[in-house]
Structure 1
Amino acid sequence: MCGIAGMLGSDIDFRNEKEMIWKISNTLKMRGPDTRGEYITRSVALIHRRLSIIDPANGKQPMRFGKYIIVYNGEIYNTNELRQELRFHGYIFDTTCDTEVVLKSYHLWQEHCAEKLNGIFAFAIYNIDTEEVFLCRDRIGVKPLFYSNKNGIFAFASRTDSLLEVKGVEPVCDEDGLNEIFMLGPAKTPGKTVYRDIEEVKPGEYLYYHKGKITKKTYWSLKADEFTDNQSQACDKVHYLVTDAIKRQLVSDVPVCTFLSGGLDSSIISKIASDYMKESGRKLCTYSVDYDDNDKYFEASLFQPNKDSDYIDLIADHIGSQHRNVVLNNTAVADALVESTFARGCPGFTDIDSSLLLFCKEIVKNF
């Protein structure tokens, strides 16, 4: 997870806006605590905060190649395949990070590079010659990307809080914003935020900004095709796709772990991850979460006939993981609701966000 931001404007000199740029960068620190980088000229400011996953020693951003400069947040799971294809076209690589692959993919294929990327991502590429910026977001919107266009400044960022530091962008919640908070529960309307002045790059969408004009295009959308496979074919395809997706996401130059709730999804992920890591002599760490007095107050129901812990122990023993259980205090979970709201940038749904925040804080102590 990294944090990106940027601003373009013709009526402002960003070289004289160091305080605003510092404030924007500081809002992204929680997303990228390892390194900080900026590219600043009179008409543009690009900001990056990095959490190093692949090639920590290299891959610093903003990264430049020719007339293009990128700030990128994400993970590309077909990096090796794309790198080989680009080498066939004559490209040479100085790092092993996926940032360089994305940048040179855009250099060759322009906006069509989005269709080639298998992963989760949000990035911006600035053209020094034309002063145009290209924003792109992954197909299902795992990585956040917001933007504003007000008072002659086009700005983008990984967090809405970052855009609230841009001159002229106001923390005003209008009727549409209130609808997002109170009427849709945990869901949201693609492209919308709770703030009047801030929009979202939709999942599967890219946009160009050039001299005050925004051009958007959807490069991917979910399609429902006719199902023609028999049961055996369907099982084989699902097994391959799930296994391939999990293994691709285990590529890392830093330690990895999985969340294990005892449910089907996390159990399958942890089993495949554990088997994959055993091939190289490594042992998977798994983590689960529980709450004070859960054993005391748990009541079986049709929705949940057994405690999660019953299945967590079975799966952890079966896959041979190094398992740790994190027990959260209920009062602490309630107290963390405010902090989790600030971290998310808007109100969440019940105590899911605060529980996840405290859970991850405990996990990171072991990394």
Structure 2
Amino acid sequence: MCGITGFVQWNRDLTQESELLVRMTDSLSNRGPDASGTWISNPCAFGHRRLSVMDPENGAQPMHALQGDTSYTVVYNGELYNAPELKKELLQRGHHFRTQCDTEVLLASYIEWGPACVEKFNGIFAFAIWDGGREQVFMARDRLGVKPLFYSHAKDALIFGSEPKALLLHPDVEAVVGPEGLAEIFIVGPARTPGHGVYSSLHELKPAHAMIYSRNGIKTYAYWKLESVNHEHNLEETAVEVRRLLQDTLERQLASDVPVCSLLSGGLDSSALSALAVDYYNRTGQGQISTYSVDYVDNAKHFQAHSFQPGADGPWIQRMVDELKTDHHWIEIENGELVHALSQAMLVRDLPGMADVDSSLYLFCKEIKKGATVAISGEAADEVFGGYPWFHRDEMLNSGTFPWSVAPDMRAGLLSQDIREWIRPLDYLADRYSDAVAEVPLLDGETGKTAQMRVMSYLNITRFMPTLLDRKDRMSMGAGLEVRVPYCDHRLIQYVFNIPWEMKITGGREKGILRKALEGVLPDDVLYRKKSPYPKTHNPQYLAAVKQQVLDILDDPASPILPLIDKVQIRNLASSPEASSNLPWFGQLMSGPQLFAYLTQINGWLKTYNVAIR
């Protein structure tokens, strides 16, 4: 994994901009701590930071190739999991390779097939290729948006990068946020609308989209999308196919020239991946695999079961460690560390994010990095297979908005009256929801519960899942750790998307078809354990700390967040019983402590990035 950045500007001598390019590239050093490279050849400037995973000796970027008289240069962040098959086909077509890395395979694929190369890729990626023959830049992002790519079309320049921080160093990109950006932060956030960069001058290349930039301007287009088709397999055949796809995906993603580990929470999703990885390592003679789990100091003393988190993970983690005999690492985070890391998590993301869910993951990844460079994670299984409570509760299914944002009035009530009138947050949210629902590819004649569940699945895959993938990428790459997400394989997602809902919940359980597919892989008690989400701290010391931070912000007249919020309302919340609870209440997903931490992140972001509101 890596960080990429650069700019293309017609009719200007970019060789005078080498210092700027180096600064932009170095801003991504956390994403690529192992090497750095820049390249300028008018009208194009590319920068790259490398995290060495495949062929560490020979995979330096920017990477160049010459085909006849045409030169090509690529900067690339990602992994192609089908690189061996592509390489074999390209060799048969006359290509030659100097390295064992997938970067060279990706570049040769573009040389052979042009922009259509992305349709052949199985992997996670964001890349830019300068095509000297056509005098254009071709950019693309993987189908599910695992790897990020932002861009700005400012004046006569295209500026791009893996993270906003690189673009914001360019003099043509300002840290300005308008009404849509504020609505993204306060009413949609921490989710983001696909394609929205929050900053007024930034856009995000959407998942499954490509871009061509030439002297004629910008052209973006989708090269893949979810399709609705009739599901032809019976229950047994479906379970076999789900297992086949998951196993194939995982084995592809275990390929690495550096140490690989697995994240293990003791739940269905991570336990399945860990078990399949152990089986693969045993079959291929690769020895013992390491697993990692995260918790908080003294968390067990303060844990309260609720519908979103019905039980503690610790005993189940130990159950799987004993079963699989992995080299397990228990990571515990202090509450003081968690509070302190809220600021670092915001800097890694360049935006306020998921509060302690971000900062804890960042600290977790920093610890994992001490022993591994690549990790396997169970991210996205709930979105794909229907694991969240909102798939199963009528009041959430029928809420008329995103099920993770079912308290928009409460969120809008945190804003000052002037800001509410300016950004019209409830209208903005309603428009984004309508846009998302209008995209859903319903089958002809599909109505009722069947149509409703397809809509819910689509919203989760295209709107909520990117939020978690965004978080996973920033927090892990902020620590120089590559995290792979097998449940995000586009073949698996396309197949499961079309499994009828009644079959998905076979046995009357959430993710029933996944459980059936994994019979014999996991012990029955783990296989049928009720879902438990990523762990949160339950220590009242954390609540006290983040609440005090918010009160200090309210007491400081220089706090940049003050003109945006209703200070009286937030003070009232701070003294309310709900604010003293770790139970989900604020829009279902955000507890009192998380709300206060989020407001603190917003204030820190406005101050640190000197954000202008206009």
Q: TM-score range by the shorter chain?
A: over 0.9
Is the 8 Å Cα contact of residues 157 and 163 (structure 1) preserved in structure 2? yes
* Residue aligning to 1:363: 368
Normalised TM-score (structure 2): 0.59
* Residue aligning to 2:135: 131
Partner SS, residue 37 of structure 2 = strand
* Residue aligning to 2:149: 145
Distance 1:345 1:188 in 2: 13
The alignment's C-alpha RMSD in Å is 1.2
Among candidates 309, 312, 330, match of residue 307 of structure 1? 312
Is the 8 Å Cα contact of residues 259 and 288 (structure 1) preserved in structure 2? yes
Normalised TM-score (structure 1): 0.97
Distance 2:126 2:365 in 1: 22
Distance 1:303 1:110 in 2: 47
Distance 1:81 1:212 in 2: 35
* Residue aligning to 1:121: 125
Is the 8 Å Cα contact of residues 36 and 49 (structure 1) preserved in structure 2? yes
Q: Cα distance, 1:12 vs. partner? A: 2.9
Q: Cα gap change, 1:30/1:212 in structure 2, threshold over 3 Å: closer, same or farther?
A: farther
* Residue aligning to 2:196: 192
* Residue aligning to 2:282: 278
Among candidates 224, 248, 264, match of residue 244 of structure 1? 248
Structure 2 residue 269 is the aligned partner of structure 1 residue 269: no
Q: Cα distance, 1:93 vs. partner? A: 1.1
Distance 1:325 1:47 in 2: 37
Is the 8 Å Cα contact of residues 14 and 40 (structure 1) preserved in structure 2? yes
5+ long unaligned stretches in structure 2: 373-614
Structure 2 residue 312 is the aligned partner of structure 1 residue 317: no
**Which region of structure 1 is more displaced relative to structure 2, 162-171 or 40-49?**
40-49
Q: Cα distance, 1:152 vs. partner? A: 1.6
Structure 2 residue 161 is the aligned partner of structure 1 residue 165: no
Alignment of 1:197-346 (within 5 A): 197-211=201-215, 213-279=217-283, 280-346=285-351
CA distances 1:182-227 after superposition (whole Å, capped 9, x unpaired)? 1113321111011000101100000100015001110001112212
* Residue aligning to 1:57: 57
* Residue aligning to 1:30: 30
Is the 8 Å Cα contact of residues 180 and 193 (structure 1) preserved in structure 2? no
* Residue aligning to 1:77: 81
* Residue aligning to 1:4: 4
Distance 1:194 1:105 in 2: 33
Partner SS, residue 45 of structure 1 = strand
Paired amino acid for 1:108? E
CA distances 1:209-258 after superposition (whole Å, capped 9, x unpaired)? 00150011100011122122101100110000111111110000000001
CA distances 1:306-352 after superposition (whole Å, capped 9, x unpaired)? 21011100011111100011000112111111110110121112311
* Residue aligning to 1:19: 19
Higher relative contact order (CA 8 A, sep 6+): 2
CA distances 1:96-147 after superposition (whole Å, capped 9, x unpaired)? 1000110000111111110100000000110123331000000000000011
Runs of 4+ in 1 over 6 A off after TM superposition: none
Paired amino acid for 1:227? H
Q: Cα distance, 1:299 vs. partner? A: 2.3
Q: Cα distance, 1:298 vs. partner? A: 1.4
Partner SS, residue 17 of structure 1 = helix
Q: Cα distance, 1:10 vs. partner? A: 2.0
Paired amino acid for 1:36? S
Paired amino acid for 1:14? L
Structure 2 residue 46 is the aligned partner of structure 1 residue 42: no
* Residue aligning to 2:94: 90
* Residue aligning to 2:480: none
Structure 2 residue 110 is the aligned partner of structure 1 residue 106: yes
More strand, by proportion? 1
Distance 2:234 2:134 in 1: 52
Distance 2:300 2:182 in 1: 38
Q: Cα gap change, 1:3/1:281 in structure 2, threshold over 3 Å: closer, same or farther?
A: closer
**Which region of structure 1 is more displaced relative to structure 2, 41-50 or 311-320?**
41-50
Is the 8 Å Cα contact of residues 152 and 212 (structure 1) preserved in structure 2? no
5+ long unaligned stretches in structure 1: none
Q: Which structure's CA Rg is the greater one? A: 2
Partner SS, residue 176 of structure 2 = coil
More helix, by proportion? 2
Q: Cα distance, 1:302 vs. partner? A: 4.1
* Amino-acid identity (%): 45
Q: Cα distance, 1:353 vs. partner? A: 0.8
Distance 1:146 1:303 in 2: 33
Paired amino acid for 1:197? S
Residues paired across the two proteins, number: 367
Q: Cα distance, 1:176 vs. partner? A: 1.0
Q: Cα distance, 1:301 vs. partner? A: 3.2
Partner SS, residue 5 of structure 2 = strand
